[in-house]
Amino acid sequence: MTFSPTTPQSQPSPAATQAQIQTNFAEYARIFALNHSAVNTSNQGDHEGVILTRQTVDPGVTEDLVAVYCKDATSKAGTQPQLFAKIKKFLPNSKDTQNAPNIPMQLTYNAVNVAGPQYQSFLPGGYLLYFGAVSGVTVPNVTIANTVILSPAPTEIVVAIAIPNTMTSVGTPIPFTVSTLVNTTTNDRFTIYSGGNFSGPPIAYSFTYLAIARA
């Protein structure tokens, strides 16, 4: 049986609709447990899940509260429903006497890469954070170029930084120079240029990098 909103009624006697009344109580418990801890459990009544209806526009916030809602977010990886937050107003600094409106802030993203060797996370506001390392072998007095392709692809790289790790040749630390160049044509990659002044056989190198980009 299914839930009946018209049971019980004032007439006839509840005994006549006993089965439907029992079904209604069972349906109460089943539906309640979809987003809450079930009744007769240690955490009964606690929220276990929240369903947010996807919004087409940002809601108006008229009180001094935070609105958390779901809305489509567009990125290089495609359009995905994500969580947003919006507050009524904010003061950029203490000297301001006029409140400024606060634009919505994207809180989530549809992918996080924790497998490596390239790692990627999300910063609230629509930014992707990438980090990892590249390695290889270089010869004396030669500039090497390593291109890092970011995945998932961002729409724009804001900054890319690379730091050389210590290079060692026969027990002697070799200082390396390093610079980065962002490819503004594809917006999903940058190149690490590096080199070292040393003599002797080829040596192994590695670089740690960090990139911040717009989703």
* CATH number of the CATH domain containing 132: 2.60.40.2080
Dist CA 153 CA 146 (whole Å): 18
d(CA 69, CA 72): 10
What pLDDT score does 166 carry?
Answer: 67
In a domain, 95, yes or no: yes
Q: How confident is the model at residue 112 (pLDDT cuts 50, 70, 90)?
A: confident
| Rounded Cα gap, residues 82 and 75, in angstroms | 11
Is residue 143 predicted with pLDDT exceeding 60?
Answer: yes
**With pLDDT > 90 as the criterion, what percentage of the chain qualifies?**
31
Q: What is the mean pLDDT of the chain?
A: 84
- For residue 111, being part of any structural domain is answered with no
Number of domains the chain is built from? 3
User: Could you give the 3-state DSSP secondary structure of residue 109?
Assistant: coil
Does the model's pTM come out above 0.75? no
Average pLDDT rounded to a whole number, residues 162-178: 72
> Do 83 and 21 share a structural domain?
no
pLDDT in tens, 34-83: 888 888 888 888 888 888 999 999 988 877 778 899 999 988 878 889 99
- In a shared domain, residues 152 and 203: yes
Q: Does the residue 73 lie in any domain?
A: yes
